[in-house]
Amino acid sequence: MAHHAADSTHLAPLAPSTRTLLGPGPSEVPPRVLAAMGYPLLGHLDPEFVALMDETQTFLRRVMRTTNPLTLAVSGTGSAGMEAVVVNLIEPGDKMLVCVNGVFGGRMVDVAERAGAVVTAIERPYGEAFDPEEVRTALKQVQPKVVGIVHAETSTGVLQPVEEIAKLAHEHGALIALDTVTSLAGVPVEIDAWGIDAVYSGTQKCLSCPPGLAPVSFGPRAVETIQKRTHKVQSWYLDMTMIMRYWGSDRFYHHTAPISMNYALRESLALVLEEGLEVRFARHLRNHLALKAGLKALGIAYVPAEGFQLPQLNCIRIPEGIEDVPVRKRLLEQWGIEIGGGLGALKGKAWRIGLMGHSSRPANVTLVLAALETCLRDLGYACQPGAAVAAAADSYRLAAESVAVS
Amino acid sequence: MAHHAADSTHLAPLAPSTRTLLGPGPSEVPPRVLAAMGYPLLGHLDPEFVALMDETQTFLRRVMRTTNPLTLAVSGTGSAGMEAVVVNLIEPGDKMLVCVNGVFGGRMVDVAERAGAVVTAIERPYGEAFDPEEVRTALKQVQPKVVGIVHAETSTGVLQPVEEIAKLAHEHGALIALDTVTSLAGVPVEIDAWGIDAVYSGTQKCLSCPPGLAPVSFGPRAVETIQKRTHKVQSWYLDMTMIMRYWGSDRFYHHTAPISMNYALRESLALVLEEGLEVRFARHLRNHLALKAGLKALGIAYVPAEGFQLPQLNCIRIPEGIEDVPVRKRLLEQWGIEIGGGLGALKGKAWRIGLMGHSSRPANVTLVLAALETCLRDLGYACQPGAAVAAAADSYRLAAESVAVS
């Protein structure tokens, strides 16, 4: 990003370097979505923009597999989506049970406490998932109004099965709020079939849209809860009772929607639907298995146990004797590859390789394995030259054969 | 925006119509800024992105005329900026005095009450500005912790002089928080010279960047107030004590910054600085005077009194016997021109013609006058054909001559 001194009157245009984005998000953005970001703007009350909002809602419902009317994009990043769900459902003094097995469960506790909730957190170590039985026990004890849980923990790469937990929440009269920031459009997310009452996501993970919007959806029980509130929602900006009037048939002005971000979201959702959700999930899985085979050939293990590994976010243990930062620095500087470091309890101990949305491609799997192997071998790590890429190629071959047979 | 049915597997790309944006924002976005929106992404912790954040802060300080270290862009629209300023300065039970002479002053009351403030609102009718004396009286009575006031009321087109009011606030031991959403980069905004303690703005007005970020700045008294808080900021997403660690030298991860929006803001600030603030203010004034001359020729009056009219947002009275919606509808459908309707007390009674940032051009002034005159004459309004455009041309000629003489 070369440019003149800041006090020059001529300021050279921005010229960001090209990256291969294989961290925990943002993921790479397809050309069609980038193109839409650069379109001239419509006004936020223009009939064409209003039609785009309608269409975006329709697309979002299909991607989330829900019929919830109150499904829309909040004008902030995924964390704003988390806050929107919490502050709309919680009133001061309400009890909330939060399942914490990583940074984002921990964040939900903080957000809920700030909203005046009396929070009970149950914990699992980083890298583990919750068993429905421990949630049942906590539900009995706490009798919360809302249960909050993360479907795909971005900090640990853990996939949390939630269908059974949602059922238990309802049996105990609680609503369930789900974080799908990293899961949506990468693994199955079944809002209606699982009975999820409120859900939020982000755009910059498996939707492969730039960061800046947070898709949310509220089911009938959640909407009823919001309508029965006795206190105003503490955040004006995130107050669904007002936002739904702008996204609803009223078109009542609330705030100026981020026009270009909404263009991009519309295009990214269109691409997801054109590919088809099941095909997209299979693609994420196929690239994950190839990466995993390559990592195995390098002797690198996953943090989450088998069966709980997110295909779109591979959280792996840094090999013994290898330092975190020098490897990531070299990947970035030599190849322009971004992978993620560990967060929280995994800082310095894990890497996170994201294969999300448009980033989930054989080229990226092959490149990151080849580059990582080179880095590791240069640092004295013992491994067979070329083994990682070969193992990935075998995995792809196997996948192609199984498709041909079936 | 023609495309296939929503349940088709092929969803035609977005194709928004071309608009001339002369409403209260978003304004038109220059090609260089649009191009930056479409650049492939860097990660939010990439050294190049971090350098861009530093640079954006430097540029923002120059545009705001401040040396405040805590100057950055909040990841939401202007209303999120308002909420960020209020929730960081206010703790439950704090007294806040809000000056309300339009929709956005009213919004500040709502936001402050949700933050737990005990709010006293003083009011002026829509279209009028506050006199420092009435603020002094209220300050004496209320003894607030914070005074909130809007510099450029987007709903009424009123410019509020604030230097004297800021001085009075300090004399009474209060902080002053200023809304510069519509003023920044359109008319002089002197954060340090006026002693403003906290300020927020938006990107989609005179900065001519798409909506989605809210520049904010906090002076030393405001930072001290934030650091002395005894309650956590109620919004996790907008908590400056955490956000400043991401924008500061720590680079501590808070949330995923909207990368593309930050690219665009960097470019739009660069364009503002390349043009020069004083040259930019003069341009806004010149185009305003030409529009005003043309409107006068049409017999159309301004809502705000002389001396309080914002050059970038011309709030004018709808002529007797003319209906609001049919005119705006026709401007949009026939010429693709967006102008704004009245808000709140001015709904149906006023139009708002924005000449903000890149929209403030002689071509736009000439086009909107010609189109408006055509609409009005077709509706039976009596005016001299061609008079509006001719009056604007005279105004430009006069301006050019006065430059040549000086």
Domain identity same for B132 and B87: yes
Domain identity same for A135 and A113: yes
Q: Do B260 and A260 touch (CB under 8 A)?
A: yes
Please tell me the distance in Å from B384's CA to the nearest CA on chain A: 31
C-alpha A55/C-alpha A73 separation (Å) is 12
* pLDDT the model gives residue A202: 98
* pLDDT the model gives residue B98: 98
Domain identity same for A319 and A252: no
Domain identity same for A55 and A198: yes
Domain span including residue B166: 31-273
**Per-residue pLDDT tens listing for chain B (406 residues):** 444 444 446 899 999 999 999 999 999 999 999 999 999 999 999 999 999 999 999 999 999 999 999 999 999 999 999 999 999 999 999 999 999 999 999 999 999 999 999 999 999 999 999 999 999 999 999 999 999 999 999 999 999 999 999 999 999 999 999 999 999 999 999 999 999 999 999 999 999 999 999 999 999 999 999 999 999 999 999 999 999 988 888 888 899 999 999 999 999 999 999 999 999 999 999 999 999 999 999 999 999 999 999 999 999 999 999 999 999 999 999 999 999 999 988 999 999 999 999 999 999 999 999 999 999 999 999 999 999 999 999 999 999 998 887 6
**Probe site for chain B from A3, A46, A332, A346 (most B CB atoms < 10 A):** A46
Q: Do B258 and A211 touch (CB under 8 A)?
A: yes
**Per-residue pLDDT tens listing for chain A (406 residues):** 444 444 446 899 999 999 999 999 999 999 999 999 999 999 999 999 999 999 999 999 999 999 999 999 999 999 999 999 999 999 999 999 999 999 999 999 999 999 999 999 999 999 999 999 999 999 999 999 999 999 999 999 999 999 999 999 999 999 999 999 999 999 999 999 999 999 999 999 999 999 999 999 999 999 999 999 999 999 999 999 999 988 888 888 899 999 999 999 999 999 999 999 999 999 999 999 999 999 999 999 999 999 999 999 999 999 999 999 999 999 999 999 999 999 988 999 999 999 999 999 999 999 999 999 999 999 999 999 999 999 999 999 999 998 887 6
In total, how many domains does chain A have? 2
Give SS3 for B354.
strand
Please tell me the distance in Å from B95's CA to the nearest CA on chain A: 17
Segments of B171-289 assigned E as strands: 175-179, 198-200, 214-218
Last residue of a domain, one of B273, B299, B334: B273
Domain identity same for A240 and A335: no
- On whether residue B60 sits in a domain, the answer given is yes
CATH number of the domain where residue A393 is located: 3.90.1150.10
Report pLDDT digits (tens) over A376-402: 999 999 999 999 999 999 999 999 998
Domain identity same for B397 and B286: yes
Domain identity same for A194 and A87: yes
* pLDDT the model gives residue A67: 98
- On whether residue A10 sits in a domain, the answer given is no
CATH number of the domain where residue A205 is located: 3.40.640.10
Do the bridges between strand B95-100 and strand B146-150 make them parallel or antiparallel, or are there none, so unpaired? parallel
- On whether residue A322 sits in a domain, the answer given is yes
> Does the bond joining A385 to the residue before it have cis omega, within 30 degrees of 0?
no
Q: Which DSSP symbol is given to B305?
A: P
ipTM: 0.96
Residue A216, strand partner residues: A72, A200
- On whether residue A3 sits in a domain, the answer given is no
Domain identity same for B235 and B298: no
Domain identity same for B319 and B387: yes
Last residue of a domain, one of B239, B255, B273: B273
**Probe site for chain A from B1, B14, B182 (most A CB atoms < 10 A):** B14
- On whether residue B2 sits in a domain, the answer given is no
Q: Do B75 and A80 touch (CB under 8 A)?
A: yes
Please tell me the distance in Å from B231's CA to the nearest CA on chain A: 9
Last residue of a domain, one of A219, A245, A273: A273
Residues of A in contact with B267 (CB under 8 A): 13-14
Residues of B in contact with A60 (CB under 8 A): none
- A-B CB pairs within 8 A amount to 244
Q: Which long-range contacts (CB under 8 A, 24 or more apart) does A376-385 make?
A: A376/A298, A376/A319, A376/A322, A376/A327, A379/A322, A379/A326, A379/A327, A380/A321, A381/A319, A381/A321, A381/A322, A383/A297, A383/A298, A383/A299, A384/A297
Residues of A in contact with B83 (CB under 8 A): 235-237
Domain identity same for A184 and A303: no
* pLDDT the model gives residue B197: 98
- On whether residue B14 sits in a domain, the answer given is no
- On whether residue A247 sits in a domain, the answer given is yes
A331, two tokens: 């990947």
Domain identity same for A67 and A199: yes
Domain identity same for B211 and B114: yes
Please tell me the distance in Å from A187's CA to the nearest CA on chain B: 20
> Does the bond joining A215 to the residue before it have cis omega, within 30 degrees of 0?
no
* pLDDT the model gives residue B251: 82
Q: Do B16 and A23 touch (CB under 8 A)?
A: no
- On whether residue A148 sits in a domain, the answer given is yes
Q: Which DSSP symbol is given to B19?
A: -
